[in-house]
Structure 1
Amino acid sequence: MKPISRWIGGNSVRLLENGEAYFPAVFDAIRAALHEVIVETFILFEDKVGNELHAVLLDAARRGVRIDVLVDGFGSSELTPPFIEALTQAGVRLSVFDPAKPVLGVRFNVLRRMHRKIVVVDAERAFVGGINFSFDHLRAFGPEGKQDYAVEIHGPIVPHIHGFVRAIADQSAAREPAPSVAAVQPAPTNEAAGDAEMIFVTRDNHRHRNDIERHYRAAIRTARQRVVLANAYFFPGYLLLRQLRRAARRGVYVALILQGEPDMPIAKSAASLLYGYLQGAGVHIFEYCERPLHGKVAVVDDAWSTVGSSNLDPLSLTLNLEANLVIRDASFTRQLDARLQYLIDNHCKVIAPEAPSPFWAFWRPLRGFLLFHLLSGYSRWFGWLPRRVPKVHRLGPQAGPNVASDEGAPDGAS
């Protein structure tokens, strides 16, 4: 097992809950950019939110800021030529991770997606989380508006995040002339901005296949008082489930906040298969019912937390490209924990353990046996799926040939 990356101290972190907090913070940061903006997002839609991002990027590019945008070819497959051309003609370097044309109206490029959501401005300010650039992350969208989280970060961790996204952006521009704008500046060595210690953790299909899951397991294994996980798509492997059960059995309060009003019903059905297995060890399960839960966050005890793009399901843990920030900061952890407790107290349904019955007495151990063998092996099974190397495609008049995938990101980036 590879060693867990070192902690970097001296950072400040601000919780951004839902699009109402996230979008204004990101757009204001881009408006204030002096040199460089890098955006990675799974989804970019041409709606109210996507069009505002489009406008602030165009404005920044026209005043000489270097702009790199990477979107996913599955999540952002509906961008129109006028939307794209306006960006590229203004000098925005727009790339698409593994695009594919639909076959008979069906998109088959669903596996091994670029699922990260990261924004870095001037190598001094970064945003990491689970929020896409789409209107459905706002309450104004209606009952289907998503509940989600991100963070804004300043401090010495930011150059590490910047180095990661800069390397990916440079891969997609490897065949192009160097830009002439004054935006190309060396990353600063950021001074201390706060007291938070952080690790920027990524998952890819090359050298960092299970880094995010290892951080979860390590935190749960050492928990002494409290573990709260809020996750949209929950069907982790056996090792993580075992740590949750062990924590509950040694007296730790372990709570899961899962989807009660799912945007994908199959995700709720899959998670529900685990309820009895976890509740039998004392894990508390809550379903968030106000609107679809899209968050991927957790708190452990009074000083450990994580916010990012990684769900706890087979796609995120074994196939997709993901990024999480792991944070050690008592103040931030208390704040995030309080927000999660607010969901439990006001918008969640308590899932009671199933009442015992003669049939259940037979079925429960059998289901536990089947789940054990399913969950202990799915990471290997998913690894057998097609191993073609996804490509990053540049868009626009200067776009060159396909370039290498970002699956093999630099080792120091995680």
Structure 2
Amino acid sequence: MLADLIVQNTREIVTPVATGAPLKGAELGAPRVLADGALASYEGRIVAVGPRKDLLAGIELTPDALVLDAGQRVVVPGLVDPHTHLLFAGGREDEFQMRVRGESYLEIGRKGGGIVRTTAATRSASQDALVEQGRAHLRMMMRQGTTSVEIKSGYGLSTESELAMLRAIRILRETDKASIRSTFLGAHAVPPEYKASPDRYVDLVISEMLPAVHAAGLADYCDVFCETGYFDVDQSREILRAAKSLGMKLKVHGNELAPSGGCRLAAEMGAVSVDHCNCLDDGDLEALRAVGTMAVGLPGTPFFKLAPTYANGRRIVDAGVALALATDYNPTASISSMHFVMFLGCLEMGLEPAEALCASTLNAAFAMGVEDSAGSLEVGKSADLLILDVEDFRHVPFYVGRDIIDLVVKGGKPVAGKRLAGGTWH
């Protein structure tokens, strides 16, 4: 078997066990742990994973093959971030101080802050500026071990500006090392010019934005912010129905600030996922479980908003609902590290380290539609992996704040990490 990359001398290779569906219940906390394992890839795809001695005996290296000595470190899949708002212009750092002083997210929004403030800056930015800023954010995420990223629009809130955002995402998708999926989020907030007539804005999203986005093939998903003060259940349903009629896959921001009805709407519409999920009841969980809609926890958001309520990961997993984790990286919640999100998933959501890892890799890959190429280390998938400076994979969330990324490999090529910065990796 031909290989142009070998990873060997590992302490352990840890990967979720792929079953063809998102992991639920006990599956989420049961990754495969292979002591003294090795991995081989050819032209960016994994061709073998197994015990070192067995694997090396069956491999023929190409003349220019790269042999990576893991130095008795832990190898895991590249991390997957299925919910980000990383494309925007301007900043809202001052809103953090407002929150520290006790002002709520909704209060800041009523003063002209929040989404509409970023919208004004993003509308005035050039496409080149958006691309360059987005590329800088993606590079930062790659250095932190994230190799696959979903990016939403939603800071344009006009047909022209939303299309410009989605075109910028397409450029990043075509030129960046990360695997990228795009989501149309025209229903992120009601822009100021429609504040007195929000239903007219909903009509604009349905009659003009969605057809234009679909015709140009710019989005993999359509999302809607179904939340108090944004879009109610009826408005959200209209938008999702229109997107579904065009053949688009669906996502929902739901139950972040209150029991908004977003979770049950996501289940009703057959959405791939409902994201945030901070305020769930038994009926919400049963609705999600019955249809297989995933829950995506975004613990970085309440962390940055100084909010008391996090998604109850333990309850979600025990209810048999598939759970993924994501950063929600945006201008007001600037956590870009899935490593830190795993820490919060354990500390604030009740997850065990193994569950946090699987929710940040394979289940996250399902949540953004890249499960065929990312999220686990198995034959046929992209050779996206991390070599980590830890003794045991369960130490990953515990070691938050440490630089544990020895090497990031994307598509069989070293792309970031301490070892690469030092100039050697053989």
Q: TM-score, normalised by structure 2?
A: 0.28
Q: TM-score, normalised by structure 1?
A: 0.28
